[in-house]
Amino acid sequence: MNYRHSYHAGNFADVAKHLAEVAILAHLAKKDAPFAVIDSHAGRGLYDLGSEQARKTGEAEAGIERVRALSGSPLLERYLRLAATDGGQSYPGSPLIAARMLRPQDRLTAIEKHPEEAVLLKQALAPWRKARVEEGDGYARLLAQLPPPERRGLILVDPPFEAPDEFETAARTVRAAMRKFATGIYLIWYPIKSTAAGNAFAGEVLASGTKKMLRIEIAIDAPEGKLGRAGLLVLNPPYGFDAEMEAALAIAAPPLGARTKLDWLAGEA
């Protein structure tokens, strides 16, 4: 599976993923104590929605463009403000959204393997002194960063799922990360090609021993061979996170033509 994000930035799955990211970071910011954000597969940070890649798929038009004017949920409204880049001509990736939510005491480590993407990422994050880019393997560099000195934070695992063994590698890395930083909040994105495959991946992550794990799924009708279903696994979600997400998705899903599902795989709210 090839999931180059320049083709898919701002699609239905991004809307759900970035809503979750904003909700988690807003929760962490409720306390004065500093937090860390570690993004294992950060990408380029900013995506041109007028690019040939974006126009070829039209996924942003069927995603972020359908929800920009919505209101009625504080979480959704905050996400849309953060996503309003260059008058809607660009869309921010997860590291740029995180950077925009950092306070002076917080920091971001964004890891990107591909040299060309890492250069663009450094440019996108240049205005933020506490945002640092590391060029290297996301899985190895993530584990080297744990536990963060702050002992609070969000670990975002959002690989491209290009390698045949990516699901196994991602699950194995999360299990290792939990052994080093069991109290962190983890947000893990994955494409769902089948219910069985999605359940198997969730089961492998659940084997980390986490006491609380929420699964969020979002699906649209998509042509054969196109991404039509994606999931988020949230380990140690903050109190009230599920209700916030349900309220935001209840407003955002209908314009996206999406179906959503939230269920607890371990623990409860």
Active site (catalytic) residues = 158
Asked if 39 and 158 touch (Cβ cutoff 8 Å), the reply is: yes
The four Cα atoms 40, 208, 3, 143 give a dihedral, to 10 degrees, of 20
The beta strands (E) that lie in the chain are given as 36-39, 46-48, 90-92, 107-112, 131-135, 153-157, 185-191, 213-219, 229-235, 259-266
Asked if 190 and 230 touch (Cβ cutoff 8 Å), the reply is: yes
Asked if 26 and 103 touch (Cβ cutoff 8 Å), the reply is: no
Residue 78 to residue 173: CA distance in whole angstroms = 31
Work out whether strand 153-157 and strand 131-135 pair parallel, antiparallel, or are unpaired: unpaired
Question: What is the CB neighbour count within 10 angstroms for residue 222?
Answer: 15
Comparing CA positions, the residue from 164, 250, 237, 189 lying closest to residue 40 is: 189
